[in-house]
């Protein structure tokens, strides 16, 4: 199994790393300085080896984040990081999500692109490095066309990927803009929608 992780910035299996795309150190330092001045948000810097957050981060958020980041270091200062930073994961109050996306779009233009995965979560990713990019890179390595790929998604960070592949499938509980670009809609995540679609496709062949 090959993992296309961190919105396409990190591609690997258990033995081999196929590609890593990271922010340059200057951009990392600039963005973290600016992000720390924004109230009511939680910040994770997501690296190749670990994710990182400060010891001032809400402990409840840290514990929740550990469900998704099994390597999560709580540090005194971001200067302690010695890693390739692949993205920034921001959590905010849900009603502030769209306003923050607009702010981030303007504030970080040319340095990062904000994309929402719902529930007050915003990823700040490298320009041009998204899930579609990751699948394109992997397809070139494996000799598989994007037209021959299927992908499943439910959040804003899945849109480019669903548009790029031959079979883009949205979950029933996906955001409206995701549903709008998908070729197909399957069941929701509670009803094993991905497995439903795969089983139906295999039964047709």
Does residue 45 sit in helix, strand or coil? strand
CATH at residue 194:
3.40.50.1000
Vertex 139: Cα angle to 180 and 183 (nearest 5): 20
Q: Are 149 and 184 part of one and the same domain?
A: yes
- 189 and 117 in one domain? no
Domain shared by 105 and 166, yes or no:
no
Domain count, the chain: 2
pLDDT-derived band at 205, boundaries 50, 70, 90: confident
pLDDT for residue 189:
87
Whether 133 is covered by a domain: the verdict is no
The pLDDT, as a whole number, for residue 95 is: 94
| Whether the predicted pLDDT of 198 surpasses 90 | yes
Flag whether pLDDT at 150 surpasses 90: yes
Quick check: 171 pLDDT over 90?
Answer: yes
Is the residue at 12 inside a domain? no
Which pLDDT score is estimated for 140?
A: 96
Residue 50 belongs to domain with CATH number: 3.30.1240.10
Nearest 5°: CA angle at 81, between 19 and 133? 25
Beta-carbon contacts of 23 under 8 Å, excluding residues fewer than 6 positions away, are 31, 85, 86, 112, 126
Name the domain boundary from 63, 92, 125: 125
What range defines the domain where residue 121 resides? 22-125
Distances (CA, A) of 43 to 19, 48, 82, 123: 25, 16, 17, 10
Tell me if the pTM is above 0.85.
Answer: yes
């Amino acid at each position: 199994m090959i993992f296309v992780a961190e919105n396409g910035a990190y591609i690997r299996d258990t033995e081999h790393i196929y590609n890593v795309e990271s922010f340059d150190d200057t951009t990392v330092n600039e963005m973290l300085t600016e992000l720390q001045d924004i109230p009511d948000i939680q910040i994770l810097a997501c690296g190749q080896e670990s994710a990182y957050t400060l010891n001032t981060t809400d402990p409840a958020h840290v514990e929740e984040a550990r469900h998704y980041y099994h390597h999560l270091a709580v540090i005194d200062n971001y200067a302690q990081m010695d890693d390739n930073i692949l993205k920034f994961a921001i959590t905010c109050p849900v009603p502030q999500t769209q306003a923050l996306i607009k702010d981030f779009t303007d504030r970080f233009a040319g340095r990062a692109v904000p994309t929402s995965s719902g529930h007050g979560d915003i990823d700040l990713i490298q320009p041009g490095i998204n899930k579609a990019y990751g699948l394109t890179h992997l397809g070139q390595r494996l000799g598989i066309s994007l037209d021959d790929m299927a992908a499943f998604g439910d959040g804003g960070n899945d849109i480019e990927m669903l548009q790029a592949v031959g079979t883009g499938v949205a979950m029933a509980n996906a955001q409206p803009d995701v549903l709008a670009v998908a070729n197909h809609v399957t069941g929701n995540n509670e009803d094993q929608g991905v497995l439903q679609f795969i089983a139906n496709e295999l039964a047709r062949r």
